[in-house]
């Protein structure tokens, strides 16, 4: 124990002696954990301010004498270690943060220079950013660098934003300060799993930034207190969409361009951060769900601002390739089960955003949407089970797009794309079986049941599907029952859905089917026509003239005159139509 009035000179001698002992122990291969902890405790006990000592001249002299010696000793210990395997890090005690707060600018510079030397000793300088006494450099590194852990950046930004003087000083030195703050905040939101109290606090302060609220035309409102930071992110993306709609309504193209460019700056490090989380072997299910949830909201609300046709470097294709279609592009590298479960809940949000474009006019987007539908339709199950925690198929959830003309247009576009994909990739062609034909048929059945299609949607279903389904029913398929059920469902419902123009298209499709198949499968074609007449007698009756012409063409090509079998089938079909009509009339 030392006397209370021990002079700084004696304390300096003691400090040198302690570090000499540490160097001797280190040279002999002894672990320094216990000894280094005692040295650090002794130093901070003599150099940290206590109540009433901040203006004590003797204390200031003591601190001025011991601080350089301690920093020099720390540097010597780290320089003398070949592998830093003797617990040298214990000297860097948590009290360093308190010491920085209590030190003068010159003392802070000395402390930070020593820490920089230690960092470069632990990590080569080509891998680390320089840490300097300059406050701007500190902000650039701890607040904005992707090499700093997001939780460290979050704590640092909370401290900066809570101090108005520090914020004003940074605003004078960094012209685009608010953009950098939002950019860093979004990086932290992606990398830190909610809930997190510090992130909630940081989110509230970021959404109060003046320039951000001006850019979003006052549409940005803070969520209620206590919300996790993912709610704040959703609020930001929603406000961006609202501001974009306002600018579009008034025809302000310059404002829309400025909003698009600023959003691109906000998301400058976004893809790198997202890719880092997805590729991390230690990423938990919660971390993956957080990433997909944030990106799903970004696509849903801001997709039209993330992509311009023909412009390279857009963010939307990068995020698509990273999040949604990696296993489509690289079939040998499928997504893990954890990734699939995270994507399953957010896939409707991604597709909802993509459907905001005029997809039919953009080959890239059209190809990508069809890739997604084709790949994930068979990957997820249509059945639901509380036991196995499986919900509705994500491609069916997309149909619940809400009310309004825009939602209706999206749904009609989506239904037509679904039909194109199923006809091209799931319906057998020329009798060749398809592994997922049954699932494709069940999916269309669910679509018809779920959305109660409009007249335009039913017209798309009939024009795209019925000819392929009719031809499939002629083959002895193991899925013929499913196919027949779907045809029955469509024809029964279509009687009230189709207008005159669509009815003529259906009539043409039916007669064309008869003309293509009557010659080689006469009995099968008429059997199918009987089934169609039972469900929709008016349709077959209106098509009878064309069906008769097709039968006459077959007879003429065969060259044998009238075919008794065909004539009998025509007669039986007419009788069946009259019978069905009379039955319906009595009901």
pLDDT one-digit tens code per residue, 159-182: 888 888 888 888 888 888 999 999
Residue 138 placed within a domain = yes
Q: Give the model's confidence band at 263: pLDDT under 50 very low, under 70 low, under 90 confident, else very high.
A: very high
Residue closest to 101 by CA, chosen among 184, 174, 166: 166
Last residue of a domain, one of 111, 127, 143: 127
The whole-number pLDDT of residue 56 equals 72
For residues 372 and 361, what is the distance between their CA atoms, to the nearest angstrom? 18
SS3 462: helix
- What pLDDT does residue 351 have? 93
Of 221, 238, 268, at which residue does a domain stop?
Answer: 268
- Give residues with Cβ within 8 angstroms of 419, minimum separation 6: 444, 460, 461, 464, 465
Domain final residue, candidates 127, 155, 177: 127
Average pLDDT, the chain: 81
Total domain count, the chain = 3
Alpha-helical segments (H) within 355-454: 363-377, 394-397, 405-425, 437-451
Q: 462-485 pLDDT, tens per residue? A: 767 777 778 777 765 556 677 777
Domain contains 411: no
Rounded mean pLDDT, 51-74: 79
Range scoring the smallest mean pLDDT among 63-72, 104-113, 132-141, 324-333: 324-333
Q: Is residue 431 part of a domain?
A: no
- SS3 call for 385: strand
Please tell me the predicted confidence (pLDDT) of residue 33: 85
Contact 457, 498 (CB under 8 A): no
Residue 511's pLDDT band (cuts 50, 70, 90):
confident
The verdict on 79 and 177 lying in the same domain is no
pLDDT tier at 126 (50, 70, 90 boundaries)? very low
Copy the structure tokens of residue 382: 């249509």
**pLDDT digits over 268-298, tens only?**
888 889 988 888 877 889 999 999 999 999 9
Backbone angles phi, psi at 115, to 5 degrees: -65, -35
Average pLDDT over residues 113-135: 63
Does residue 230 contact residue 189 with C-beta atoms inside 8 Å? yes
Nearest one of 520, 437, 448 to 480, comparing CA atoms? 437
Q: Which residue has the higher pLDDT, 40 or 558?
A: 40
91 assigned to some structural domain: yes
Q: Are residues 83 and 201 in the same domain?
A: no
Note whether residue 447 is domain-resident: no
Q: Is the pLDDT of residue 491 over 60?
A: yes
Q: Are 141 and 184 in a shared domain?
A: yes
Question: Does residue 413 sit within a domain?
Answer: no
Q: Does a structural domain hold residue 524?
A: yes
What integer is the mean pLDDT of 73-85? Answer: 80
What is the predicted pLDDT for the residue at 128? 46
Q: What is residue 127's predicted lDDT score, i.e. its pLDDT?
A: 44
Instruction: For residues 142 and 263, state if they share a domain.
Output: yes
Tell whether pTM > 0.75. no
Average pLDDT in the 217-241 region?
Answer: 84
Same domain, 220 and 244: yes
Q: What domain range is 522 assigned to?
A: 512-587
pLDDT tier at 453, thresholds 50, 70, 90: low
Tokens at residue 347, please?
């896939």
For residue 138, the model assigns a pLDDT of 82
Alpha-carbon distance of 402 to 413, in angstroms, equals 15
Together in a domain, 75 and 193: no
**Average of per-residue pLDDT across 182-187:** 94
11 vs 45: CA distance, rounded Å: 12
Do 86 and 154 fall within a single domain?
Answer: no
pLDDT, tens digit, for every residue of 360-406?
899 999 999 999 998 888 888 876 544 444 568 898 888 876 666 77
Give the mean pLDDT of 569-575.
88
Q: Which residues partner with 390 through β-bridges?
A: 385
Distance from C-alpha of 337 to C-alpha of 35, rounded to nearest angstrom: 49
Q: What percent of the chain has pLDDT over 90?
A: 18
What pLDDT shows up at residue 522? Answer: 83
Residue 409 lies in a domain: no
Report the alpha-carbon distance of residue 179 to residue 173 in Å, rounded: 14
175 and 208 within one domain: yes
Contacts of 249 (CB under 8 A, 6+ apart): none
| pLDDT greater at residue 192 or residue 519 | 192
The string of pLDDT tens digits covering residues 425-444 is 877 665 555 566 777 788 88
| Percent of the chain whose predicted confidence (pLDDT) is above 70 | 82
Specify whether 121 is located in the same domain as 168. no
Quickly state the pLDDT bin for 331 (edges 50, 70, 90). Answer: low
DSSP state of 141: I
Is residue 196 predicted with pLDDT exceeding 80? Answer: yes
Q: How confident is the model at residue 510 (pLDDT cuts 50, 70, 90)?
A: confident
**Do 263 and 177 have their domain in common?**
yes
213 and 250 housed in the same domain: yes
Q: What is the pLDDT of residue 105?
A: 80
Given this model, what pLDDT does residue 495 score?
Answer: 66
Quote the DSSP letter at residue 224: P
For residues 92 and 160, membership in a common domain is answered with no
Distance (Å, whole) CA 530 – CA 524: 10
């Amino acid at each position: 124990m030392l006397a209370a009035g021990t002079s700084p000179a004696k304390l300096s001698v003691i400090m040198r002696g302690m570090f000499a002992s540490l160097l001797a122990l280190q040279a002999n291969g002894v672990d320094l954990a216990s000894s280094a902890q005692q040295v650090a405790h002794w130093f901070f006990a003599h150099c940290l301010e206590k109540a009433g000592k901040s203006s004590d001249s003797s204390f200031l002299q003591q601190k001025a004498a011991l601080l350089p010696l301690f920093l020099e000793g720390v540097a010597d210990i780290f320089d003398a270690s070949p592998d830093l395997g003797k617990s040298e890090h214990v000297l860097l005690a948590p009290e360093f943060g308190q010491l920085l707060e209590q030190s003068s600018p010159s003392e802070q510079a000395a402390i930070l220079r020593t820490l920089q030397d230690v960092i470069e000793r632990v990590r080569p300088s080509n891998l680390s950013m320089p840490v300097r006494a300059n406050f701007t450099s500190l902000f650039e590194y701890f607040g904005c660098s992707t090499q700093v852990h997001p939780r460290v950046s979050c704590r640092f930004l909370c401290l900066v934003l809570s101090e108005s003087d520090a914020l004003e000083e940074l605003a004078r030195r960094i012209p685009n300060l608010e953009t950098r703050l939002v950019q860093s905040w979004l990086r932290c939101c992606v990398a830190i799993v909610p809930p997190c109290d510090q992130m909630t606090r940081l989110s509230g302060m970021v959404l109060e930034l003046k320039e951000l609220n001006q850019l979003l035309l006052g549409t940005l409102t803070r969520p209620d207190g206590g919300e996790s930071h993912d709610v704040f992110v959703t609020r930001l993306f929603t406000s961006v969409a609202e501001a974009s709609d306002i600018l579009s309504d008034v025809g302000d193209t310059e404002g829309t361009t400025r909003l698009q460019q600023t959003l691109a700056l906000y998301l400058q490090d976004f893809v790198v951060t997202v890719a880092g989380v997805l590729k991390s072997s230690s990423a938990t299910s919660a971390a993956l769900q957080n990433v997909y949830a944030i990106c799903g909201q970004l696509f849903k609300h801001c997709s039209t601002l993330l992509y311009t046709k023909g412009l390279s470097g857009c963010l939307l294709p990068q995020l698509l390739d990273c999040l949604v279609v990696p296993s489509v592009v690289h079939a040998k590298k499928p997504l893990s089960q954890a990734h699939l479960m995270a994507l399953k809940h957010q896939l409707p949000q991604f597709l909802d955003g993509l459907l905001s474009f005029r997809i039919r006019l953009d080959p890239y987007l059209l190809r990508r949407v069809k890739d997604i539908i084709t790949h994930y339709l068979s990957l997820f199950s249509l059945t639901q089970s509380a036991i196995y925690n499986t919900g509705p198929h994500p491609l069916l959830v997309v149909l619940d797009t809400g009310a309004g003309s825009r939602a209706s247009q999206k749904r009609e576009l989506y239904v037509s794309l679904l039909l194109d994909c199923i006809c091209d990739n799931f319906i057998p062609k020329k009798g060749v079986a398809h592994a997922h034909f049954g699932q494709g048929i069940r999916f269309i059945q669910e679509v018809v049941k779920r959305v109660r299609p409009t007249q335009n949607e039913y017209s798309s279903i009939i024009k795209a599907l019925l000819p392929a389904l009719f031809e499939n029913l002629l083959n002895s398929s193991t899925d013929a029952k499913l196919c027949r059920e779907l045809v029955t469902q469509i024809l029964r419902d279509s009687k009230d859905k189709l207008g005159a123009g669509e009815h003529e298209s259906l009539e043409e499709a039916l007669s064309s089917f008869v003309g293509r198949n009557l010659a080689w499968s006469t009995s099968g074609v008429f059997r199918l026509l009987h089934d169609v007449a039972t469900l929709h007698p008016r349709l077959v009756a209106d098509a009878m003239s064309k069906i008769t012409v097709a039968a006459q063409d077959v007879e003429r090509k065969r060259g044998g005159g009238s075919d008794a079998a065909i004539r009998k089938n025509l007669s039986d079909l007419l009788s069946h139509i009259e019978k069905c009509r009379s039955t319906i009339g009595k009901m």
